[in-house]
């Protein structure tokens, strides 16, 4: 049963337009959503007309694409968003529109294209560019290599990011995760240690370290690291569960397990 938000009268979902008690339009949210979709579809139709007009000047064309992108984005039509960014890039050759396109390529799993865009950005921007930190492009490309399971290339790019900015904690942590996926648990741990040396309160790195020790059958070290992660982030169920499972199955530490179950 639903309730009228004004007078709280109960009604069967999808059976009424207005509350029979107070007359409130109970479907206003649905209607507003439908209205928004209609507006976006209209925007796409209008912008398409402008785009298809002959001899359009470039700035009008780019604006029309940008408005159409916004509508496609609202409608979650991401492949169309990517296609329109491609048109804008063709017209303007502006490197930063590639970053916009990357965002949507990553969303729909078009990782190869994201990598190609990052490569062009890396090759064309000066390392001294102040618009965004140059090392973040290597981090971004590495992330896409990782998604494709191209772990060696991912590690190489994380290393490049770290070479430029040695205190890049996230890159150390992610490189650790890639080593972990490759089964090189000791190298993974080294990277997680680098991470927490830079940001001591970064709980995921302790958790990741715990997972690596777990794989190495070093259960006491694993539990110590899970414990540290839980100290920092006591509400994370993943941390609590991992520690509980280890204490229960491996160490047969019943009191610790009971205490942990209390927290879960």
The residues that touch Zn ion, with contacts defined as CB under 5 A, are 4, 6-7, 9, 19, 21-22, 24
Pull the structure tokens for residue 117. Answer: 């865009």
Q: Are 226 and 239 in contact (CB under 8 A)?
A: yes
Q: Select 29 or 38, whichever has its Cβ closest to Zn ion.
A: 29
Cα separation values, 103 from 40, 85, 117, 142, 203, Å? 21, 11, 11, 14, 27
Q: Select 26 or 61, whichever has its Cβ closest to Zn ion.
A: 26
Q: Select 25 or 259, whichever has its Cβ closest to Zn ion.
A: 25
As measured in angstroms, the least distance from the Cβ of 15 to Zn ion is 14
Cα separation values, 203 from 150, 151, 162, 192, 193, Å? 27, 24, 20, 10, 12
Ramachandran quadrant class, 37 (left: phi over 0; alpha: psi -120 to 50; beta: rest): alpha
Q: Are 172 and 194 in contact (CB under 8 A)?
A: yes
As measured in angstroms, the least distance from the Cβ of 35 to Zn ion is 22
As measured in angstroms, the least distance from the Cβ of 16 to Zn ion is 10
As measured in angstroms, the least distance from the Cβ of 6 to Zn ion is 5
């Amino acid at each position: 049963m639903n309730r009228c938000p004004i007078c709280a009268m109960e009604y069967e979902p999808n059976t009424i337009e207005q509350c029979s008690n107070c007359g409130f339009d109970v479907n206003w949210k649905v209607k507003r959503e439908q209205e928004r979709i209609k507006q976006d579809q209209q925007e796409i139709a209008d912008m398409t007309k402008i785009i298809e007009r002959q001899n359009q000047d470039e700035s009008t064309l780019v604006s029309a694409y940008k408005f159409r992108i916004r509508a496609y984005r609202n409608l979650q039509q991401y492949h169309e968003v990517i296609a329109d960014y491609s048109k804008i890039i063709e017209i303007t050759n502006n490197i930063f529109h590639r970053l916009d396109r990357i965002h949507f390529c990553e969303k729909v799993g078009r990782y190869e294209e994201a990598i190609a865009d990052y490569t062009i950005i890396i090759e064309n921007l000066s390392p001294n560019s102040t618009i965004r930190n140059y090392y973040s492009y290597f981090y971004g490309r590495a992330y896409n290599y990782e998604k494709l399971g191209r772990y060696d290339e991912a590690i190489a790019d994380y290393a490049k990011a770290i070479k430029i900015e040695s205190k890049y904690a996230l890159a150390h942590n992610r490189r650790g995760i890639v080593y972990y996926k490759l089964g090189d648990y000791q190298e993974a741990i080294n990277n997680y240690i680098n991470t927490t040396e830079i940001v001591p309160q970064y709980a995921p790195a302790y958790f990741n370290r715990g997972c690596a020790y777990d794989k190495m059958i070093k259960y006491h070290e694993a539990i110590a690291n899970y414990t540290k992660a839980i100290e920092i982030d006591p509400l994370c169920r993943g941390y609590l569960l991992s520690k509980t499972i280890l204490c229960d199955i491996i160490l047969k530490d019943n009191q610790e397990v009971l205490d942990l179950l209390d927290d879960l």
